């Protein structure tokens, strides 16, 4: 059986990483709870590898009320202290505080735009950007769109939303299709 060509960054020895690449990464996401999940996980990933966070995703789902922003926004100091004792997540005080803060800001954006999806997708004119990735040098860390979204999120009081984090978020939730040109998922994601 031929192994399909995948993006160079996928570690083929890690089945969960391969599954993430093959089923989730780059697929357009419009569900607000899923967008809140990706935003929270990308912020948690700052300074770490994505795989570190991916391995902890189930623990994050349990700890952060299945990424329900209404519930997370209501977390108090006692809950934050409890989270900092949870070995299943990244126990960084600033990142935990940011997740709780961002949930409240997320609800404000939902109230203003009808959904976070409506707000977020405006930054790419409501259509996934198709990038040409011929090799590792073609991957970027930011874009004018991630700069603009990051700046706007910061203005609205979000934390851990620098342009690099936001570009990774945009990749994860399909605002940009950064699958390698030869990756079998490139055209599948376009068709989704």
Domain assignment of residue 109, yes or no: yes
Domain assignment of residue 27, yes or no: yes
Domain assignment of residue 1, yes or no: no
Token pair listed for 161: 């939303």
Q: Is 173 annotated as a binding residue?
A: no
Is 42 among the catalytic positions?
yes
Q: Is 5 annotated as a binding residue?
A: no
Domain assignment of residue 2, yes or no: no
Domain assignment of residue 136, yes or no: yes
**What pLDDT score was predicted for residue 35?**
98
- 79 C-beta neighbours (distance < 10 Å), count: 17
Q: Is 21 annotated as a binding residue?
A: yes
Q: How far apart are CA 181 and CA 179, in angstroms?
A: 6
CA nearest neighbour of 163 among 173, 172, 154:
154
Residue 161's domain spans which residues?
Answer: 15-189
- pLDDT digit string (tens) for 15-54? 999 999 999 999 999 999 999 999 999 999 988 999 999 9
Model's pTM, two decimal places?
Answer: 0.94
Options 42, 60, 119, 121, the catalytic residue: 42
CA nearest neighbour of 16 among 28, 8, 25, 27:
25
CA nearest neighbour of 38 among 48, 53, 23, 49:
53
Is 50 among the catalytic positions?
yes
Say how many domains are in the chain: 1
**What pLDDT score was predicted for residue 2?**
72
Is 119 among the catalytic positions?
no
Options 9, 24, 30, 50, the catalytic residue: 50
Supply the CATH number for residue 38's domain.
Answer: 1.10.340.30
Question: Could you tell me if 158 and 30 are in contact, meaning their C-beta atoms sit under 8 angstroms apart?
Answer: no
């Amino acid at each position: 059986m031929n192994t399909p060509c995948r993006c160079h960054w996928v570690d083929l020895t890690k089945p969960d990483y391969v599954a993430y690449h093959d089923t989730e990464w780059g697929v357009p996401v419009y569900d607000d709870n899923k967008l809140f999940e990706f935003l929270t996980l990308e912020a948690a990933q700052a300074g770490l590898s994505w795989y570190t966070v991916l391995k902890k995703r189930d623990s994050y789902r349990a700890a952060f009320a299945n990424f329900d922003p209404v519930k997370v926004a209501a977390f108090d100091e006692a809950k934050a202290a409890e989270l900092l004792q949870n070995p299943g997540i990244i126990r960084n005080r600033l990142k935990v505080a940011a997740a709780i803060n961002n949930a409240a800001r997320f609800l404000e954006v939902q109230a203003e735009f009808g959904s976070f999806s409506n707000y977020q997708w405006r930054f790419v004119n409501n259509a996934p950007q198709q990038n040409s990735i011929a090799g590792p040098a073609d991957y970027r860390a930011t874009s004018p769109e991630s700069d603009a979204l990051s700046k706007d999120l910061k203005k609205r009081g979000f934390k851990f939303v620098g342009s690099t984090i936001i570009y990774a978020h945009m990749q994860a939730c399909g605002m940009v299709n950064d699958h390698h040109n030869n990756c079998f998922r490139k055209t599948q994601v376009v068709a989704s």
